[in-house]
Amino acid sequence: MKFKTTEPLSLLEAAAKMAPDCTRTTLRSWIKEGRISVDGQVETQGASQVHAGQTLSMGRRVRYAPGNVRILFEDKHLVVVDKPEGLLTVATAYEKGETVHAILKAKYKPGKVFVVHRIDQDTSGVLMFARTERAQEELKKKLEKHDIERTYYAIVEGHLPKTRGTWESYQIEDGNYYVRNTTDASLGKLAITHYKVLDTAKRYSLLEIRLETGRKNQIRAHCQMADCPIVGDKKYGSKTNPLKRLGLHALFLGIVHPTTGQKLKFTSPLPKEFTTLFPRAAHADA
C-alpha cells in the first residue's frame, strides 16, 4: 500500500488518507509499530510532518523475537528492538539470566550481534544492536559525538523548581556498582542530562529527559542529585513505587543508518503504568 501526499499533513493525517477505512486507533498502532515509512524512512511519531509530494508506504506486520522482544527494525547491518521491563540488555559479571543480546544472537545465528548501548534491566523501551563490527564501530562513534538522539520519560518523586534545565556532573561507579555524582573531573566521567517537566501530580512529576552523554545509571543518579528520585528506584533514593516497576522508559531513538545514511526514528509506546498515573501522556506522540 502506497500513498503520495498533495498537501502538508501530520503523519497520522496522511495515514488516514492512505487507509480511509481504518480507525485512528489502528493507524496509531501501525505508526508506533514502525509499519509506515515516508519516502522509505521509518517514522514512528504520529505528529511528524509529511510534506506535499512525499510517499507513504506500508510495511510488514509487527515481528517478535522470543521473550516478548518486539522488532522495530532489522536489516543486515543493525536491529532495533522494544525491550520489555525486567529483561537484561546483556549479561555481566554480576548480572546473569536471559538477555536481549542472547535472544538476538540465537535469532540471527550463525550471524553475530554486537552491543552498541544498554538500558537498565528495569527500564523499558528502544534499544539498538549492530549486526556487523563495522556498523558497531560507526554507531559507537556517533554515540561519542552525541549524534544519536535518545529521549526518555521518567516519573519522579516530588517537583522540580524549574520546568526545564540541565544536570551536569562527573559520575563514578564504586565497588558496589553504585553511581555517584562529583564535581571533581579527575574522579569521574562527564555526564550531561537535559530535562523538561511535562506534567505534575500531587506527589509526582513526569519528565522528558534527553541524554547528551550516556553513562551507566546516568539518569537515575541525576534525578537523585536533584532530590527527585525516579519512582521505584530504591537504589537511588526512591521511597515510593506507585507503578510497581522503575519509572523510566526509553521513549525515542533517532539515528542515521551507519551504512545507508538513511534517517531512522523509533518510538516505544509508553507503558500503561505510566499513562495510568499521567493519562495525558498517552497521546504525547500521537
Q: Which residues are catalytic?
A: 120
CA distance 31 to 14: 11
Burial class (CB in 10 A: 0-12, 13-18, 19+), 106: exposed
Q: Looking up cell 510497581, which residue turns up? A: 244
